[in-house]
Amino acid sequence: MTPHVTVGMDESPESLAAALWAAEEASLLGVPLHLIHVEEWPVTAEVPVLSAESLVERYETLLRATADRVGDVRPGLDVTTEMARGRAPAELTAAANEAEVTVLGSRGLGGVVGFLIGSVSLAVVGRARRPVVLVRSGSASSGAGSGDAGSGDAGSGIVLGVDVEQPCDPLLAFAVGEAARRDEELRIVHSWSPSPAYGYTAILDPGVGSGLGRKATEGLAEMVRPWRSKFPAVRVTVQAVVGPAAAALVDASRSAGLLVVGRRSRRSPVGPHLGHVAHAVIHHSPAPVAVVPFE
């Protein structure tokens, strides 16, 4: 299938912000933008055929209007639309697996909005094999234009959260690529805490704490070194901080244009899985959040 960027659409301001953010992403990648809405309404006695047809027309109008809006801010961008029918989790996850990036609207603390609330959003973000970006209505790129749902005090730069003990190449590839295309700085943050084995030693003996911090910084620098060589034009800074990772990343995201975190790809008997850090930043980061799966 031709490479493209996908957006899951509903009638919310967050969904429009996601479409505008995704339009910039598609332009940077040089690929088409695909707008999709999943129609789940069953035709029953409670929802007769005429009502179902009315809903279809309503969302087809939404898709056309959004495509026109995107065309206004990104002239020349190839935009396609799709009305899919079926179960939203399955349809959106399947669409995400075929896209370079999938973008969804997010309300932050309220969760992902519209038809993407609850288990649907969890299924897409937690099961997609490709990166998924969540965008709030006030955090889309300034490239969307003044007065758009996506306008607001957008930050700049890319923040990437990593764990030096985990395989981070997919995250680094995504984040460095974003920084290169946007010509923005990449800030890589690794959060660490002293092992319980040290007890109070790391607190009472500054030498122990500083030694652990130095080891974390060196490990982070070693992880990043090949990517500096591969993308010499990208400005990269690294920071090893002490404390909870989620708090450090949310704080770093306040001035960022995009926050990137990882999600380990694994099957769970209880359904899709997101780590606590990804959960926290999705709910609290003011910047768009990209969740990148890795093995």
Q: Whole-angstrom Cα distance, residue 26 to residue 19?
A: 10
Identify which has the larger pLDDT, 117 or 176.
Answer: 176
Question: Are 116 and 84 within 8 A, CB to CB?
Answer: no
Question: Are 69 and 24 within 8 A, CB to CB?
Answer: no
Common-topology check for domains 1-154 and 155-295: yes
SS3 for 77? Answer: coil
Domain ranges of the chain: 1-154, 155-295
| Sequence letter at residue 171 | L
**Can you name the CATH fold of 1-154?**
Rossmann fold (3.40.50)
CATH class of the structural domain 155-295: alpha beta
Q: Whole-angstrom Cα distance, residue 140 to residue 138?
A: 6
Could you tell me the pLDDT band of residue 1, with boundaries at 50, 70 and 90? Answer: confident
Strand partners, 134: 104, 289
Q: Whole-angstrom Cα distance, residue 176 to residue 220?
A: 15
pLDDT digits (tens, 9 = 90+) for 218-250: 989 999 999 999 999 999 999 999 889 999 999
37 CB burial (10 A radius; 0-12, 13-18, 19+):
buried
Q: Give the number of residues written for the chain.
A: 295
Residue 152 has pLDDT above 70, yes or no: no
Work out the widest C-alpha separation in the chain, in whole angstroms. 74
pTM: 0.86
SS3 for 192? Answer: strand
Quote the pLDDT of residue 109.
53
Q: Is 22 left (phi over 0), alpha (psi -120 to 50) or beta?
A: alpha
Place of tokens 């709030």: 136
Could you tell me the pLDDT band of residue 117, with boundaries at 50, 70 and 90? Answer: very low
Strand partners, 236: 186
Quote the pLDDT of residue 111.
46
Quote the pLDDT of residue 142.
38
pLDDT digits (tens, 9 = 90+) for 94-110: 999 999 999 998 876 54
What's the average model confidence in pLDDT over 271-286? 84
Tokens read off for 214: 């130095």
Quote the pLDDT of residue 269.
56
231 contact partners, CB below 8 Å, separation of at least 6: 176, 179, 180
56 CB burial (10 A radius; 0-12, 13-18, 19+):
middle
